[in-house]
Amino acid sequence: MDFSVMIAVMTFRLRAPWVHSLKEKRMIVKSLVAQLQTRFRVSAAEIGEQDTHQIIVIGAAAVVPHRALADSLMDAVSAFVEENTEAEVLEETREIR
């Protein structure tokens, strides 16, 4: 039996120009990460730029059984991030491993 699995990995680089403290930034990050984890059952975390007030870098990953599900999941996560944050999406990367 073939039990191969794939890992769908995404990173988002966001800009929130109205944020003027790390406390404000943490509130945004915490909310978005929790929503991604709850809604899509992905692992998600802030993965970079932790000391920069207005830049947010979030990574998300999920184990999936096949490429079609990976593509579908990543499309849904991307749309959710676009629609559920006031921050501007500067960059999005996708990878299937």
Reported CATH class of domain 6-96:
alpha beta
Q: What is the pLDDT of residue 6?
A: 93
Q: What is the pLDDT of residue 40?
A: 97
* Residues 6-64: tens digit of each pLDDT: 999 999 999 999 999 999 999 999 999 999 999 999 999 999 998 899 999 999 999 99
Q: Give this prediction's pTM.
A: 0.90
Domain ranges of the chain: 6-96
- Taking the C-alpha atoms of residue 76 and residue 27, their distance in angstroms, rounded to an integer, is 23
